[in-house]
Copies of this chain bind each other. A is one copy, B any other.
Amino acid sequence: MRLRNGSHAAAAPDDRAPVAIICGGGTLPFAVADAAAMQGRRVVLLAIRGWADPARVAGYRHHWVALGQFGRLRRLAQAENCRDVVFIGAVIRPAIRGIRLDWATILLLPRIIRLYRGGDDQLLSGIGRIFEEHGMRLRGAHEVAPNILVPAGPIGRLRPSRRDEADIARGLGVLSALGPFDIGQAVVVADNHVLAVEAAEGTDNLLARVAELRKVGRIRSPGGVGVLVKAPKPGQDRRLDLPAVGPQTISGVIRAGLAGVAVVAGGAIMAEPEEVAAAADSGKVFVVGVGADPSQP
């Protein structure tokens, strides 16, 4: 069910502040918008041109912005009386050429370039600070829509076996060891053997690599063994970059011949739990929300 935010604007209590959702690609922004609207918030989409889906955007109160128009974005948020701002959805690093900078952005450029040279964490928390200094409050998608986070326990019918649980524990251990290096939101472990570690390539590419390694015979464990383990980076600014798990993740897990996926509960967004459960059940893989402590998978 899709809710127009218009029908909720009147019903919103005063302590439920209106929220501007800066809206990248994919379906996630709309799930967040719907969930925030259901919490009784007035929602305005600031849709990023070239990334946000125009057909879906049209169903919400919205304005279009181009990448690099920080000044316009701030003015729109102010005009809409939105102090709370959420940034959600895919925005693959655009070619510099494609960006149209406005003056506010140009003034911020030296700082943004400095942030860009660091890891993701540094970039994201730096962006958070810039928003705050300009009178906005950067909120995480999970703060305006808490029910989109991965819950604890199994999602779908299957559960991890003992062998899977050992793989999950090892995966959490690897991710925890990589935490200080500002990488490692996902890892694939099969039969206690670490097959693949995610860095800049993203989870979909990680899973495609495992599928390829399996095809060429470089994976020792048989099909149906192995787990994708996902966790937020320790110290990660969750307002900007919570990992997400969706039906596409499940398809990747199935193609990689794994037994399932374990996600730190509360540490990732799952906008479409029913679709995820259905995909997992039909592909005979498990999906489970687990504790972050490697010793207690």
User: A181 to B170, Cβ gap below 8 A?
Assistant: yes
Closest to A195 in B: B200
Closest to A95 in B: B217
Residues of A177-194 at the interface with B, using a CB-CB cut-off of 8 Å, are 177-178, 180-184, 188, 191-194
User: A117 to B183, Cβ gap below 8 A?
Assistant: no
- Does A105 have its Cβ within 8 Å of any Cβ on chain B? no
User: A201 to B217, Cβ gap below 8 A?
Assistant: no
User: A201 to B213, Cβ gap below 8 A?
Assistant: yes
Complex CA distance for A255 and B109, rounded to whole angstroms: 30
User: A191 to B117, Cβ gap below 8 A?
Assistant: yes
Copies in the complex: 2
Chain B residues lying within 8 Å of A182, measured Cβ to Cβ, are 193-194
Asked whether A119 and B194 contact (CB < 8 A) given A178-B177, A181-B174, the answer is yes
The 8 Å CB contact of A194, one of B117, B177, B191, B199, is: B199
Chain B residues lying within 8 Å of A174, measured Cβ to Cβ, are 178, 181, 183
Complex CA distance for A217 and B191, rounded to whole angstroms: 34
A-B contact pairs, 21 of them (CB 8 A): A92-B216, A92-B217, A92-B218, A93-B218, A93-B220, A117-B193, A117-B220, A118-B192, A173-B181, A177-B177, A177-B178, A177-B180, A177-B181, A182-B193, A182-B194, A184-B197, A194-B199, A196-B200, A196-B201, A201-B209, A201-B213
User: A197 to B183, Cβ gap below 8 A?
Assistant: yes
Task: Give the distance to chain B from A122, nearest Cβ to Cβ, in Å.
Answer: 9
Inter-chain pairs besides A117-B220, A119-B193, 9 sampled, C-beta below 8 Å: A117-B192, A117-B193, A119-B192, A120-B193, A174-B178, A177-B177, A183-B197, A188-B199, A200-B218
Complex CA distance for A192 and B195, rounded to whole angstroms: 24
Chain B residues lying within 8 Å of A180, measured Cβ to Cβ, are 173, 177
